[in-house]
Amino acid sequence: MSYATPQNLLQWYGAKELAQTATPDDLVVVPAQLMRLTIEGGNRDAFSLEEIASADKALERITAALSEATLLIESYISRRYELPITDTVVQGSPLPRSCGAMARRLLYDDAVPQEVEKRYEHTLGWLRDLANNRADLNLNTTSQGQVGVGLADFENRERIFDNTLLQGFITPRNYQS
């Protein structure tokens, strides 16, 4: 499982950037519209077999970058959280965007724009803080009431001790209200 999807990258960074960065160097750059159709599972009949093969290879690179980014993220978060983290919790956390930023950096290889490198470094810093207990995923509870991973679970039970039961132990001298 990856914390982000090719569809997420398409939404965040656009088909043109993904086509340019994900197409292997030895292949013709995939047209942006074909990259979009490939990621979304659309009809690609208007394109040549060579272009479709290039788009499939580009999607493989995107998927591999997302998997690599997820493994790197897990190497940090596993120090504090039990893995795997549920999809519901992941979607309510910064993990998808962090995974996307890391995968984006991986797709650029050597010619990395300053903005992409900056986001990558920011994500690594956040992961270091997370691993060293200086940041948190805030996994207390989700909107569906599920308890977050690695946290204590409390039940609301009847009180064992109450004021009536403890009255014999409380004297006016040591009781202050």
Asked if residue 90 is part of any domain, the answer here is yes
Average confidence (pLDDT) over 47-73: 97
Domain that holds residue 12: 6-167
Mean of the per-residue pLDDT values for the chain? 85
Asked if residue 175 is part of any domain, the answer here is no
**Over pLDDT 70: what percentage of the chain?**
78
- Cα–Cα distance between 75 and 173 in angstroms, integer? 57
Asked if residue 177 is part of any domain, the answer here is no
Asked if residue 124 is part of any domain, the answer here is yes
Domains held by the chain: number: 1
Tokens in use for 91?
């979607």
Asked if residue 55 is part of any domain, the answer here is yes
Query: Structure pTM?
Result: 0.77
Report yes or no: 64 and 54 within 8 Å, Cβ to Cβ. no
Among residues 99, 33, 36, 27, which one has the least CA distance to residue 57? 27
For residue 99, is pLDDT > 80?
yes
Asked if residue 71 is part of any domain, the answer here is yes
Asked if residue 50 is part of any domain, the answer here is yes
Report yes or no: 30 and 23 within 8 Å, Cβ to Cβ. yes
Asked if residue 172 is part of any domain, the answer here is no
pLDDT tens-digit profile of 102-145?
999 999 988 899 999 999 999 999 999 999 999 888 765 443 33
